[in-house]
Amino acid sequence: METGAVLVVDFGAQYAQLIARRVREAHVFSEIVRHDITAAEIAAKNPAGIIFSGGPASVHVEGAPSIDTGVYDLGVPILGICYGAQLLARDLGGEVAQSGRGEYGRTELTVESDSLLFGATQPRMQPVWMSHFDTITIPPTGAVVTASTPDTPSAGFEDRTAGRYGVQFHPEVVHTPHGQEVLEHFLYDGCGLSPSWTMSSIIETQVELIRAQVGTGRAICGLSGGVDSAVAAALVHKAIGSQLTCVFVDTGLMRQGEGEQVVETFQRHQGIELIHVRAGDRFFDRLEGITDPEEKRKAIGELFIRVFEDAKVGLDDARFLVQGTLYPDVIESGTKDAAKIKSHHNVGGLPDDMDFELVEPLRALFKDEVRKVGAELGLPDEIVWRQPFPGPGLGVRIIGEVTRDKVAMLQHADAIVREEVKAAGLEREIWQAFAVLPDIRSVGVMGDERTYGHPIIIRAVTSEDAMTADWARLPYDLLERMSSRIINEVAGINRVAYDITSKPPGTIEWE
């Protein structure tokens, strides 16, 4: 864990990740930890501050999430948010009442007294976002009430001597206009931190760590064409230069023109040693006759590994494998009860008998931070702002059997979708926009002739981290242009539909 970091203790809140992101937006490193972490484990991390997240439970319910009370003796400043504030009150001599009246949504807050969290420049009356049923009626022993609402007499409290602060509202959401200032006052004034965690500092730190880990050894990186592996490769190359070799397995299932773009960027522009394996024939042969989505993923993943193994012949001295693992992957894999939705999108899940030490320079970063690092490293916008793309490629966007003709059809339709979204100036507002080719045909009319062609389904979503997503409200004229172009320009397509399913209940990809 980085020096001067803040721990966000997750009590089951939907907003724990958002709190961590807001702390990072204040240029302070944050790390999410589970609420069952011990005080000794927290002490070992030596944090500069701790934030207790909200949570869905009541502090009065048996089995409600709690914290090792030894954390209060560590002398580390603590900010409690919503449930986290109620926990501070319950554990430290305050009172949390079951009033029978909750507060949800926009609420008017009154700043009652001089306050570190609210500072001198914030308005005395301000809107905040509430989401709670129980109410803090008496703050912790030694704390003074700093803010209230009509239904919450202790909506803000602080004990500056002990370094304990609490707010009943959610400062991390956009609906609390002055919320980021509240967080920054805690970080800068309450914890004594400075805004020093920047993209440049991330790169400098990682370069040192990579050099210390790899030494004079050799590393290889399996490039997928996506932003994560691209930034990971560029960062490792900055650290160890010619000691890195990248292997790009071109499965034939990439988006239109992407294979050539990857080679152009890394071999010519970045000067990275790149082995380009054109393996499309092998993948189409392997996928012949397979229609089950999980079986397709497995077949693509296994063949990718075999091709990767063949490509690394002559690189047997390479002991290190570079992977573009991100922080959400680390958080999700750390959960106790994560249900299996599907095989992971990344095809490079390498078998146990491949004896590598992993180099994962991005595992502490969210996707938007990875893009900023990529831009800082000089990667072109076409790579940095590339939309997330599943490891198995278009194989999971073709429902049913994958054939060359279907891939060519989908590549063309998908290119139109992305071109039109870009032309409309929406490329950076949308998390993903792509085309899907379902395994059905429908009757249509073109000219005076009856047709029996494939439909294309357009999928476009907005999201921050892909854990949840909402369907994008694209303008009608944009949808019309995409539909018209696809039907007119892509042979075999006679109908276009738009998917308006959010995640949950759906997933972003179709398979």
The count of structural domains within the chain is: 3
State whether 130 and 209 are in the same domain. Answer: no
Q: How many CB atoms lie within 10 A of CB 327?
A: 23
Tokens describing residue 1:
């864990």
Based on the fold, state whether residues 298 and 419 are members of the same structural domain: no
Question: What number of other Cβ atoms are within 10 A of residue 424's Cβ?
Answer: 16
Task: Single out the residue in 134, 157, 190 at which a domain terminates.
Answer: 190
Same domain, 343 and 233: yes
Q: Quote the CA–CA distance of 508 and 511 in Å, as a whole number.
A: 9
Are 304 and 354 in a shared domain? yes
* The one catalytic residue among 35, 132, 170, 412: 170
Kindly state the tokens that stand for 294. 């999980």
Give the model's pLDDT for residue 134.
78
Q: What is the reported pLDDT for 105?
A: 74
Which residue, 164, 190, 216, sits at the end of a domain? 190
Q: Are residues 234 and 310 in the same domain?
A: yes
Question: What is the mean pLDDT of each successive set of 10 residues along the chain, which is 511 residues long?
Answer: 82 83 94 93 95 81 86 96 92 80 76 88 86 81 92 90 94 90 96 93 94 94 84 94 91 89 78 89 94 90 85 78 85 45 40 73 91 92 84 90 95 96 92 93 69 89 81 96 96 94 88 77
Whether residues 481 and 434 fall in one domain: yes
Catalytic, out of 172, 184, 369, 509: 172
208 is catalytic: no
Residues 41 and 93 in one domain: yes
Indicate whether 271 and 295 sit together in one domain. yes
**What angle separates helix 404-423 from helix 476-489, to the nearest 10 degrees?**
150
Catalytic residue among 2, 31, 35, 82: 82
Residues 6 or more apart in contact with residue 169 via CB below 8 angstroms? 82, 107, 109, 128, 129, 130, 155, 176, 179
| The pLDDT value given to residue 132 | 62
Helix ranges restricted to H, 169-292: 179-184, 199-214, 227-240, 258-263, 280-287
10 Å CB burial of residue 496 (0-12, 13-18, 19+) is buried
Residue 336's pLDDT is what? 40
Residue 340 shares a structural domain with residue 254: yes
CATH of the domain at 490: 3.30.300.10
Last residue of a domain, one of 190, 219, 245: 190
| Domain carrying residue 203 | 199-384
Residue 170 annotated in active site: yes
Q: What are the two backbone dihedrals, phi and then psi, of residue 502, each rounded to the nearest 5 degrees?
A: -90, 170
- State how far the Cα of 169 lies from the Cα of 323, in Å rounded to an integer: 39
* Beta carbons of 190 and 201 less than 8 angstroms apart: no
299 located within any domain:
yes
| Pair 223, 337 in one domain | yes
pLDDT of residue 85: 93
Within 13 Å of residue 359, how many CA atoms lie on the same side as its CB?
32
456 and 364 together in one domain: no
CA 253 to chain centroid: 24
Distance of CA 182 to the CA centre of its chain: 24
Whole-number Cα distances in Å, 236 to 18, 132, 209, 213, 374: 28, 46, 10, 11, 12
Same domain? For 64 and 139 the reply is yes
432 inside domain: yes
3-class DSSP state of 422: helix
Report the sign of the C-alpha dihedral through residues 32, 34, 40, 41, in that order: negative
Distances (CA, A) of 405 to 252, 410, 491, 492, 510: 12, 9, 10, 10, 20
Residue 510 lies in a domain: no
Helix (H) or strand (E) holding 369: helix 367-376
346: phi then psi, degrees, rounded to nearest 5: -70, 120
Q: Is 332 a catalytic residue?
A: no
Q: Using the 8-state DSSP alphabet, how is residue 387 labeled?
A: P
